[in-house]
Amino acid sequence: MAEAIHKKLQSELEKYQQMQKDVSKSMSSRQKLEAQLTENNIVKEELALLDSQNTVYKLIGPVLVKQDLDEAKATVSKRLEYINGEIQRYESLLKEMERKSEQHREVLSSLQQEYQRAQGQAVGKV
Amino acid sequence: MASVHDQMAAAGKVKRSKDLPQGVERLKEEHRKVVKDCRSQIEHWKKVENDYESLQERLRTLPDKLSYDIMVPFGPLAFMPGKLVHTNELTVLLGDNWFAKCSAKQADALVEHRKKHVKNTLDDLQKVMKNFQNRADFTDDLEKLTGDTGDFVDIREEVINEEEVTKGKHRLAHKANSKPKQVYLLELEEDKEKKEGDDERTTGVLSEEELWARLDELERQEELQDERYRLDSTDTNGEDTTSSSEEEKEADGGSDVQVNGHQKENGWLPTSITSQMNGTNGSHPEDEEEEDCDEEAGNGLPTIYFSHTAEFKKVRINTGKNTTLKFSERNEQKAQAKRKKKSGKSNGHSPHESYKITSPADIYRVFVDLVNGEPIPRKSILKSRSRENSMCSDTSESSTADFEERRAAFGRSWSHDDATHSDTSDGITEEESPTGTSPRTNGRFEAFTGTVIEKDPLPCSIPHLTIAPPALPTIPERKLEEVGPEAPQEPPKRMSKFKATQLHQK
């Protein structure tokens, strides 16, 4: 009896750990997205400071490709929107994962209690 | 097995610290970590800012010359002489793989814009650091508090009855001349009511004879009440613990526990209180807060429990000294007396207690005697018909209110078996003073002898401390002196005064 519970406990624990890892991964990617968000905001503002006389380049691999100022502005705005959407997605994902990990935690605690009880009973029996 | 448990613990379970210190330690550690992080980040951003500054400098000087002779880095280890040309054309990285060609001045503007961002970040970090520093300090203080290592004392006021908090009546401005008239009016009305109640007379005006007769009657009633109060007051003085314990049983709340611990025998520090009173009385406090004794109240912290009293009445002796009496204390005594009666306690009545002043309430009684030629024995100490004649007159703003309250409380205390609150009694003054309202004097008011009597604050958040100011003793002393010889004759004296005035008038 105790053994079975013990096994169950182990499996639950592993699942929980996995969940935690996923959560942390999502967290880090979300943080990256946030950094990109701020950066693109700065780029947008700086582009606004420039006038059409300056040439704008985009680094694509080893190549600096000339871009139109307006085009650049549009591109940057689109990228900003994309980043925002990604962040939202990650947010919801994170919440979901949190909830699941919470459930797992509860399951684990109950299992642990059971296990302890079983152990106690086993000791008593013996 | 153990490993499983450890893993469990490590797997995000809340670390339950067995002792408080452990938790506090961890909290402090976390705080310190955050603060350190903030510091390092601030360092970093400061460096960035400095770099930008120097860059701006360079940008300003760069276009000065058409070309510069420089040593050009050539690989990681070598330099070679070269020229820096097109000094005004700069390719600026805007971020996220975007570049822009601009002049030095435009680049300068861009750098300026970036510096603004850096400054914002720096400010935020500073704020966070300060915040967490404060938190760390606070946890330090908290630890000290709970560890009783500091000088901190927790002062708590348990508000049992919220009604007590609002005492608007007490805040009446003191109008010197208005009150006597009011008193007169009230008295008459009271008399009228009583008359109508008792004799079923519908005459609005009482003849003088009737008035005197009525006053005599009231005087007799007051005598009875005085005796009862004396009885209760002595009980109160002698059996404060029991009464308070009774009251505690009546009322609920954790404060009771604390009060219990602070019975006047136990932790009550009369000396400290008196000293406190000395200080406070010298400054004519409006509200006095009493300190219960400092004791370890089980929470590891010296705790002082106090409760607000109604504002003090200032009893001014003509000498100019000011002393304060608690009005609500009187009420509380009345309430206590009532409660005692309710609880079926009947104590031996010591008739000779009339002149013994054991509580500030007694002063009122005493004071009454000092008021010369008062047709109505029960004058608020506050008020004297003739200010010159009275030994003491109340200068508190709330004397009228107090007067009414007293009357009401008085009446209520004897007519109703509810717990009397000074405030509640306020609201009921006129209607519900069927008995003994005009005779104000309560025998409970005894001159203060220097001992502090602790009152249970519970039923109506009544102040604990009865005043023991250094100033006060003078009054009671004087009163004692005066009352001493007078006291035995007090009841008869009042009568005699009455009679005297009566005869006088006749």
Tens digit of each residue's pLDDT, chain B (506 residues): 545 555 444 444 444 445 667 777 888 888 888 888 999 999 999 999 999 999 999 999 988 999 999 999 989 999 999 999 998 899 999 888 899 889 999 899 999 999 999 999 999 999 988 888 888 888 888 777 776 655 667 788 887 765 555 555 556 566 666 555 554 545 454 444 444 444 444 444 557 888 888 888 889 888 888 888 777 665 544 444 444 444 444 434 334 334 343 444 443 344 443 334 443 343 443 444 443 433 444 445 567 777 766 555 554 445 444 444 444 445 555 655 566 555 544 444 444 445 677 888 777 776 655 555 554 555 565 655 444 444 444 444 444 444 444 444 444 444 444 444 444 444 344 444 444 444 444 445 555 566 666 665 454 444 444 444 444 444 444 444 444 444 444 444 555 677 777 777 76
Tens-place pLDDT, residues B278-331: 433 434 434 444 434 334 444 455 677 777 665 555 544 454 444 444 444 455
A50, A60, A112 member nearest B100 (Cβ): A50
Say yes or no for a CB contact (<8 Å) between B100 and A47. yes
In chain A, whose CA is at the least distance from the CA of B100? A56
Say yes or no for a CB contact (<8 Å) between B4 and A9. yes
Cα angle vertex B23, ends B18, B24, to 5°?
Answer: 140
- Which residue has 């693109």 as its token pair? A40
ipTM: 0.80
Do the strands B295-296 and B302-306 form a parallel or antiparallel pair, or are they unpaired?
antiparallel
Residue B94 with chain A: CB contacts under 8 Å: 42-43, 46-47, 56
* B24-145 CATH: 1.10.287.370
Q: How far is B94 from chain A (nearest CA, A)?
A: 5
Q: How far is A87 from chain B (nearest CA, A)?
A: 18
User: Residue B112 to residues B51, B59, B115, B117, B134: CA-CA distances in angstroms?
Assistant: 12, 12, 5, 9, 33
Q: What is the pTM of this model?
A: 0.41
- Per DSSP, helices labelled H in B239-351 are 240-250, 254-261, 270-282, 327-342
Closest to B328 (Cα-Cα) out of B457, B236, B174, B176: B457
Residue A16 with chain B: CB contacts under 8 Å: 11-12
Q: How far is B113 from chain A (nearest CA, A)?
A: 8
Q: How far is A75 from chain B (nearest CA, A)?
A: 11
Closest to A21 (Cα-Cα) out of B11, B15, B8, B6: B11
Helix or strand or coil: residue A60? strand
pLDDT, averaged per 10 consecutive residues of chain A (126 residues), comes to: 82 89 92 92 88 86 90 92 94 91 88 85 75
Say yes or no for a CB contact (<8 Å) between A58 and B99. yes
Identify the bridge partners of residue B102 per DSSP, sorted by sequence position.
B90
Burial-class residue B72 by CB neighbours within 10 Å (0-12, 13-18, 19+): exposed
Say yes or no for a CB contact (<8 Å) between B11 and A20. yes
A39, A57, A79 member nearest B99 (Cβ): A57
Q: How far is B132 from chain A (nearest CA, A)?
A: 22
The domain ranges of chain B are 24-145
Tens-place pLDDT, residues B355-400: 677 888 777 776 655 555 554 555 565 655 444 444 444 444 444 4
Amino acid at B419: A
d(C-alpha A106, C-alpha B373), whole Å: 83
Say yes or no for a CB contact (<8 Å) between A59 and B98. yes
Say yes or no for a CB contact (<8 Å) between B106 and A49. yes
* A1-124 CATH: 1.10.287.370
